[in-house]
Amino acid sequence: MNIRIRYFGQVAELTGTNEEIKNLDIGCDLNDIESEIRSKYELDNTYYRIALNQNITDNKETMLNDNDEVAFMPPFAGG
Amino acid sequence: MNIRIRYFGQVAELTGTNEEIKNLDIGCDLNDIESEIRSKYELDNTYYRIALNQNITDNKETMLNDNDEVAFMPPFAGG
Amino acid sequence: MKKKKKVFIDGAIGPDFIAESIAKHQTKKEIGAHEIFLGQVRADQKGTGIVQAIEFSAHEEMAEEKLSEIRELAFDKFNLSCMHVYHSINKVEAGQICFYVFASSAHRKDCREAVSWLVDTIKKEVPIFGKEILENGQHHWKSNTEVL
Amino acid sequence: MKKKKKVFIDGAIGPDFIAESIAKHQTKKEIGAHEIFLGQVRADQKGTGIVQAIEFSAHEEMAEEKLSEIRELAFDKFNLSCMHVYHSINKVEAGQICFYVFASSAHRKDCREAVSWLVDTIKKEVPIFGKEILENGQHHWKSNTEVL
């Protein structure tokens, strides 16, 4: 299944890209994708939250579906 | 002594004038002037407060001095 | 001797006047937040008629003195960069703006609380009077003691 | 299907834009009070440099969706005639306006409380990001969790 991964603000600066598509096996959850991204881009010291299909979630056991959007978002700074 | 009497808003509408000068005997207080004005213009059913020299006061025993300003002011309506 | 600032504006306060006063603050780069209150004349039903305009009058010297005291108090109470207050005198039609309070500060809490306090205090303590002219030719005297 | 309103403005929000949106409300004669909040970019010291501009970015679709929910909630919570929210995207220089919240109601309490709630809620819940560009060429990432 294809997952669209998007990076914003400081996270995008660290990843060097705004988005990428990952092809994952069915049965993967948010934990799986987060671990991969964290180690690939060395995000261990970066503060971010994850939005799955535009909703912030802390439940990393959520199963992913084809065409899901996973967004890595640093602290909000509007206003 | 001369006292400057000023009327504002609804009070001025009832008195038909914005101001007048009254010549009073030394020793008169706010009570004296208020009674005279109330009966002259029939202000018994009119809500107002009095400012002596631009300060609202409820102390009607305050003695008046030459050139004092006594203002009859209805409820404020700014804003 | 307190500095008296211009407070009264003849007739309605125009949106352009507000825009100009906002623009003037763009050189003040320590400001992070502006809070603005605008009072607009409402076409309320009053007795048998609808308000068409308010004719404002004031004890101007006393109002300016009082506003200058209120301004000093606000600078003491809140951490502000700037503060401006304008009120209409004479006729303002329904739908037009008659009262403009503007405060600026580094952070939003100060200007927010200042504007809220300024609006309430000015309505209560400044000798401004308002004759509501109704469409049917009658009039009604506005009073801030009726609705707070 | 919620109606999405235009939220993002490319670059600074000009005083003229604000004046126009005030002027548009003068036909609404049930309005007695407008409350406005303006966020302005501050030339803060950040580390070794001074903020010269902020480059805003956002998850725009998510931000618009979130703002549309916040707008609906505000209409439920407060008795409002109108409400408008605009935020800059891309570069805004220090001294310029990047955030504009406007609410109107018959009486001042509603629009005052609404603007206060809207500003706080939007800063906390809407995915907008800000890169503070310093005069010395470095940059710093703005975060609303630092100062509330």
Q: Could you tell me the residue range of the domain that residue B34 belongs to?
A: 2-73
Q: How many CB pairs under 8 A join B and C?
A: 73
| Rounded-to-10 torsion of CA A10, A11, A12, A13 | 50
Instruction: For C58-109, write each residue's pLDDT tens digit.
Output: 999 999 999 999 999 999 999 999 999 999 999 999 999 999 999 999 999 9
Identify the bridge partners of residue C130 per DSSP, sorted by sequence position: C56, C142
Whether D143 and A74 lie within 8 Å, measured CB to CB: yes
Handedness of CA B71, B77, C4, C8 (dihedral sign): negative
Domain with A14 in it: what CATH number?
3.10.20.30
Number of domains in chain B: 1
Contacts of B12 in chain C (CB under 8 A): 57
| Residue of chain C nearest B18, judged by CA positions | C59
pLDDT value at residue A32: 96
Q: Is residue A33 situated within a structural domain?
A: yes
D2 to chain A nearest CA, in Å? 16
What is the distance in angstroms between the CA of the first residue and the CA of the last residue of chain A? 37
Q: Is residue B39 situated within a structural domain?
A: yes
Q: Tell me the pLDDT of chain D (148 aa) as tens digits.
A: 455 678 999 999 999 999 999 999 999 999 999 999 999 999 999 988 999 999 999 999 999 999 999 999 999 999 999 999 999 999 999 999 999 999 999 999 999 999 999 999 999 999 999 999 999 999 999 998 754 3
Q: Is residue B67 situated within a structural domain?
A: yes
Instruction: For D5-25, write each residue's pLDDT tens digit.
Output: 789 999 999 999 999 999 999
Q: Is residue A79 situated within a structural domain?
A: no
Instruction: For A2-49, write each residue's pLDDT tens digit.
Output: 999 999 999 999 999 999 999 999 999 999 999 999 999 999 999 999
Q: In residues, how long is chain D?
A: 148
Mutate to test the interface with C, among D25, D31, D104, D107 (most CBs of C within 10 A): D31
Q: Is residue B79 situated within a structural domain?
A: no
| Identity of the residue in C27, C32, C96 whose CB atom sits nearest the CB atom of D42 | C32
Distance between CA C28 and CA C26 in Å, rounded? Answer: 5
**Domains in chain D: ranges and CATH:** 8-141 (3.90.1170.40)
Q: Is residue A13 situated within a structural domain?
A: yes
Task: Quickly tell me which residue has 């294809």 as its tokens.
Answer: A2
Q: Which chains touch D (3 or more CB pairs under 8 A)?
A: A, C
Ramachandran quadrant class, A22 (left: phi over 0; alpha: psi -120 to 50; beta: rest) = beta
Q: Is residue A57 situated within a structural domain?
A: yes
**D1-20 b/e (C-beta count within 10 Å ≥ 16 → b):** eeeeeebbbeebbbbeebbe
Whether C128 and B75 lie within 8 Å, measured CB to CB: no
Q: Is residue B33 situated within a structural domain?
A: yes
Distance between CA D7 and CA D13 in Å, rounded? Answer: 11
